[in-house]
Structure 1
Amino acid sequence: GEIQSNFDEDALDDDLEENDVRQQEANKIIEIIKATWAENPKRKIAVLVRARSHLHALVAEIRRHHADIAFQAVEIEELANRQVVQDLLSLTNALHQRADRVHWLAILRAPWCGLSLEDLHHLVGHDQYRTVLDLMQDESRVNRLSEDGRQRLLHVRNVMEEALQHRGRMSISRWVRGVWLMLGGPACLWDAGDVRDVQAFFERIEKMEMAGQFSTEQLALEVQKLYAAPDAKAPDTLQFMTIHKSKGLEFDTVILPGLDKTTGRTDQPLLMWEEVPRESGADVADVDLVVAPYMPKGKNKAEQNGIYDYLKSLEKQRAAYEDARVLYVAATRAERCLHLLGAVSPNKKGELLPKKNTFLEMLWPVVAGEFSAEKLAQAPTDLASADIAQAVSKLEDFVPQLVRLDKPQVPELLQADINHDVQQSNAAYEEDEALVLEADIGTLTHRYLELMATQGLDAWSLARIESLKLAMQRWFTSQGYAMSAANQGAETVLGLLKQTLQSPQGQWVLQSRESARNEWQIESLVADSGQVRKKIIDRTFVEDGVRWIVDYKTVALEASIDEAELKQAAEQYRQQLEQYGGLFEDQGLRVQLAIYFVSVGQLVAL
């Protein structure tokens, strides 16, 4: 038999040439930026492009070799290209598919673990059949690792084993976030932008869950639609953005690279149409519709496609006008200096002509002199021998950089030496986590208060409440909390329930009564909008001909709080309870609203 290869050497050569051009262009842009700032460091520079992809080479070059150049990129850097998000994607995939070898290896290489390549080989080498998780549990392989690698692996193994036991017990976003926290993810955020990227990642998962559209495949596609937030620390003296985003803005210096990039309008629509106003038509809608389909190739194609080609020529002319308008917008953003960058290579006839459908083609009558054969001969057509030697040397010395935490131990993870902005962002993140914990404490307390009221106080004692501690801890861990937070939540709920059982007013609220209901969900129709609203009443009952409506509040209050302060604290909930009271207006009973502050065991009537 014969093996046919589809390898296209010409296409590869074109790609290599294109990459080389874009690299030279990036170097030239950096040269212009530095020269401009050498004259005046306060001058504002903008690099404007037609498409975001035109900036990839420039951003990569700055990230690799010019870290001293700070810039703001407005919807330019794709979130999927940020390392912290790639690590989160790998973690999410690994949690959902134990046999996903690539992503399991990725989480072992991520900063929270940081296994060396040698340790990775000792762990998974020469075994393509077992999953990475199975190999992580093979003690004979684990013992082959270095002492440092073994400690790192055990840290991740313990976290992942516990995490997989909680699958399906909570929302996906909370589950993945909890595992990321336990692995030490926050300590792997090196700048404030990383924190914003992580938040955007989890927000996208939440939206997908709410829409019932979550899958790891869809998540990868959704993340590609998101863009990293601009560097908040970077001054506005250098900005990268699309021409569309630059409308209405002005800069001292504007750089327009990629003028030789085509617009990409080379498709052949199956159907072309045009609305042609009638000469005698007085109405705007008085038009004729001219339609022409695309005809397949054939000997009569020239005759068959006459109308189609005419309509397409009209569309091409409109596109040319639009391209000219966009170029005008870009060029007029500059107040002082405009730099135009484009590349031209000789065609098969040796002629220097720009590509069709490019900005450079529009500008060619003006800039053709800059691309004369004499200047082309003076310019280097390839890398100089010294540059080649230097490039080869760099390739030979290249070693993949491993970024990792010093000691992947959960209690020490938050002690990482990160900059002030990250510490502030993490503090805000932890504050949000504290608010979530406070809300879940309230949720669990409400459930137990409902149970106590339903079963009757005689069935409850301090000993029984204390016996529930383990169950409470498990509930909090099932919500994605680390053990320390789960212990804190369980202790708080225990204290609230004990306070209620020992409080005379708490006992009075929960004792059996006529028409008592707990966690009562009532739907009502809003007269003005016709919308249906749901309200949940914590506890309601009838006492001496009075309908009591009691709302539980688990907010932590000082034990020494006085009656006036309690009354003031309760007043902020009056509007909420008055809405509840309005649901019982037709009963003919007087309605009494009240707030029960669980932390101090006090009932406040409104």
Structure 2
Amino acid sequence: MLKRFEQQKQDYELARLFYVACTRAKCQLHLFGSVRFQLSDKDSDTLDSGFTDTLKPPSSSLLAPLWPCVAAQFVALAKAFEPAPSQVDALKPIIKVSRLPLERVGFKPSALMLKDVAVNKLADQVKNPVNETLPGLVESALLNTEVGKLVHKVLEHVVVQGLEHWPLANVAAQLLQRQPIYAHWLTQQGVIDDLPVALARVQQSLQNALSHAQVRWALSNHWDESATELALVSTQLSDATVDESIEHLQQTNQLNLHVVDRTFVDDANTRWIIDYKTSAFVGEWRALDVTERQAFINAKITHYQPQLARYGALFAQLENRPQKWVLYFSDLNEWVELAVEG
């Protein structure tokens, strides 16, 4: 009781001193204040409801008595906050979590092991670049790889979280709020000199995807058998030898892992197999030369169709359903449905 009373006296005295200082101004009065602010996923989800409860000045500061009058201005600044590159570099490193080995306890190879399909002979073709010297193509391998990884991670999170958390009208604002988090992740992967370009590409891809009607439809987690980054394991071995250890199969290159970006079964009992591609171009070429832009897309379709065919054949071993295959080029905002083989 006495402690609270003393604290109240100190607060009143602080307010009195603040009043005296302000009233001594002759012509103009400039007030500067600061609050601790660090954007997180939890904060960005609540910027429009209750965020003022977490953004507050220290109770013993001169800003505290004025807070009811200026809180809205600080919240607006927090929403528009974007760190400088030097601030991004200074962020604490993200602790990396090692992926569990396939031979971990509980993994049952005989239950999920699929036989390699006829199109497996085209696997090497998918791994090697085809026509990667087309005009305007971004050539930095690290940049392309990490931008692709981040876009895939965010789209996976959208499905898990639920599309209702990403209303169409708020997509741009939510992406802007999360930009410091994306910048932090990219720097942890070694994207330093190309960070502005990488951020712009990530923002463009996600803005396109989360504003595209067909992509939003596909990102809904209400579909049957909804899955993202779904891993399928196949082997060339016969059923008689499939019980060999996973470690041995890996060491002898007899085990193949296939990761499907997005898959689900729609109301018509059709299996959708969707692969995201973040290929991008620089300069004015993308916007002006429609013919070459389409030529690039056609080349990518030819390049990646065997990959989609492999996924389709693997699913055919698990179920008897019609299929639809899609390549979504996020930077170009092109949704392309491929002809299903077989």
- Taking structure 1 as the reference length, the TM-score comes to 0.28
Q: Which has the larger radius of gyration?
A: 1
Higher relative contact order (CA 8 A, sep 6+): 2
- Taking structure 2 as the reference length, the TM-score comes to 0.48
